[in-house]
Amino acid sequence: MTCHWPTIQGRGEFIRLALEEAGADYRDIARLPERKGQGLSAMLACLDGGTTPQAAYAPPVLRDGDVLIGQTTNILLYLGRRLGLAPCAESGRLWLNQRQLTMADWLTEVHDTHHPLSMNQYYAEQKQAAMLRSADLRATRLPKFLDHFTQVLLNNGSCGQYLVGSKLTYGDLSLFQMLAGLRYAFPQAMARLAPAYPALQELHDTVAARPNIARYLQSKRRIAFNKEGIFRHYPELDG
């Protein structure tokens, strides 16, 4: 069972992709009809420290039997070996977790392009600051992250089609989500940058073509990108 806000992909999408690729049986309870044990109220209960010991601060939250886990990177660390999406060796799992943490930093920078001043203000109230933040992201931060993950692929030697090890991991699925979201939010900037990063484009397309992922992307389970989520397309921020 995984739970996130029911109208956005959010950080929960990184977990959904792993569950979908593995063909796992899961329920996204916040999107289900309201009744005992499901619906938005069930998700909110996972965040209520007054009634739930070790409550999460914010979604996404994963419940697996008696285990309740918050934070995207922590959830993927838990699921990785169980779903066959992480290396067997501890060194490989730690390296994969490190890559996921770097993507979490990257995701925060993307979010802050449209909310650079405060989460408590609407985008329209901080639009000028957002334009400055986005210009910096397009000019310096995107190339820096894209360079980094390209180098990670190259450093993986003969297995360079993947981030870590010799087969697909949840890190590859997460990098796909980052690239897909950036293509939505910054289509012009990403189109200009794309020729310099063919390995990343190949990884994106390879993940999208995997049978379980392809079916998921065409299903109603995949929430479309929209202006309530982390990746938001405002033409004025795309330069």
Residue-level pLDDT, tens digit, the chain, 239 residues: 777 789 999 999 999 999 999 999 999 999 999 888 889 998 998 898 888 888 899 999 999 998 999 999 999 999 999 999 999 999 999 999 999 999 999 999 999 999 999 999 999 999 999 999 999 999 999 999 999 999 999 999 766 689 999 999 999 999 999 999 999 999 999 999 999 999 999 999 999 999 999 999 999 999 999 999 999 999 999 98
Alpha-carbon Rg for the chain in angstroms = 18
Determine contact, residues 43/61, Cβ cutoff 8 Å.
yes
CA angle 146, 148, 153 (to 5 degrees): 95
Tell me the whole-structure pTM to 2 decimals: 0.95
